[in-house]
Amino acid sequence: MKRFLILIFVFFISKIGWSQLINADLWKLRREWGFWQFERANTARFAFYMGRLQKRSILLMNLARQDGAKFTSLVIEPYIDKNPKWDQYYISLYGADAPMLLPSFRLWLSALFHSVPSGIGGYSGHQGFDLRMNIFGNYSSPTGENCSYGHFRAMNVVLQLLNSSPHRANILEEDYSRVAVSKFIHVKEGWNSVTTFSGPKYYDLVFRNHNQLKHLQANLSVATDFEKPILDISIGMRHFNEVSAARWALGTEVFMLQNKINILPKLHWSNETKLIGIGGNLLYNKYSLGSHQVIIRPELSLRIPYSISRKRGGTSFEYLNLKRSKSSIGFSLGYNLSLLKKGQNPYSPFVFSLTYTKNFLFFKNKNRR
């Protein structure tokens, strides 16, 4: 047993030492590039589901997006000078200041389920791209995929892709916010590397400002937990990017319980794709007896947008316009979970609601980065 533990200890120490030895070549680049800007590009450092080379590929792509000319002088030229056999991959880049790509586990699954079958089957291309993206919930537009064959090192993979105009366009596309890389053995080419891209997710739309449109929302809901009626009033904001949207709102829920009016403050959020939304509500309840209860309510919703315009020529009706809809009707089903053991949950498990939403103050996002 002691020998076994010693072997495990030596194995992990050797892995740590080997990793430090491999990453030693980045210290010079980090110093020349600038520590903070370099680390800003190293977004996949903690993406445990990807290997070291996949993370390195994302770092290199982000550096190229950050400053193309700087990437050419500090990365491409020194590498070609040191490895002249790859001089066919030399390229001069000029773009700068594109948003950094953040890693995505769902995108990685979409890439993994292509790199493994294509590697074993020995074929190339983007077979089943839409299906793979949809299966793992990667709906955020735009989406794209790069496939590289024959190279193991991250630098060679990225340089090969940069030398192809459609692949380079994917790497430098400013509308992308998320990325993942999967690498696997290829029976014909030796190695293949699959990189998948997507537009912004909820976090990017709200906190990274990667959205096209914003507008305010006022919400009025009539709900029930199948025991009592509930009135829900809230106001918030919706950030929109093509078919994806992020909603958040502050409000309150009001209902009668034991002949008393109960008012619960509420925080609502939702990640929407087309007409379907997945989100939740956080509510706080304090009873007259002094006990407290915090409730979280995961929620699945369907929202139908529409607009009614009244002009001199008459009244026009438009529906399912995701970008410019002035109103919407929503249906949602939520499930109540108590976060504190003390205090009684005032709700039954399920809550169904019918919501009218008024959208106003539309404005374009002038700074999407």
CATH code (residue 31) = 3.40.33.10
342 shares a domain with 264: yes
100 shares a domain with 33: yes
166 shares a domain with 120: yes
Question: Residue 124 falls within a domain, yes or no?
Answer: yes
Which CATH number does the domain housing residue 355 bear? 2.40.160
Domain end, chosen from 178, 199, 220, is at: 199
Domain count, the chain: 2
185 shares a domain with 308: no
176 shares a domain with 146: yes
284 shares a domain with 186: no
Q: What's the pLDDT at 24?
A: 58
Q: Which domain holds residue 311?
A: 212-364
Q: What's the pLDDT at 33?
A: 95
Cβ burial, residue 52 (10 Å; 0-12/13-18/19+): exposed
308 shares a domain with 177: no
Please tell me the pTM assigned to this model: 0.84
175 shares a domain with 67: yes
Cβ–Cβ < 8 Å for 204, 102? yes
Question: Residue 10 falls within a domain, yes or no?
Answer: no
222 shares a domain with 194: no
Q: What's the pLDDT at 10?
A: 39
Question: Residue 65 falls within a domain, yes or no?
Answer: yes
Question: Residue 225 falls within a domain, yes or no?
Answer: yes
283 shares a domain with 149: no
225 shares a domain with 184: no
Question: Residue 8 falls within a domain, yes or no?
Answer: no
Domain end, chosen from 148, 168, 199, is at: 199
pLDDT by position in tens, the chain (length 369): 555 444 444 344 333 333 433 455 688 899 999 999 999 999 999 999 999 999 999 999 999 999 999 999 999 999 999 999 999 999 999 988 999 999 999 999 999 999 999 999 999 999 999 999 999 988 888 999 999 999 999 999 999 999 999 999 999 999 999 999 999 999 999 999 999 999 999 999 999 999 989 999 999 999 999 999 999 999 999 999 888 999 999 999 999 887 888 899 999 999 998 899 999 999 998 764 456 788 999 999 999 999 887 776 677 788 888 888 889 999 999 999 988 766 677 889 999 999 999 999 998 887 665
173 shares a domain with 135: yes
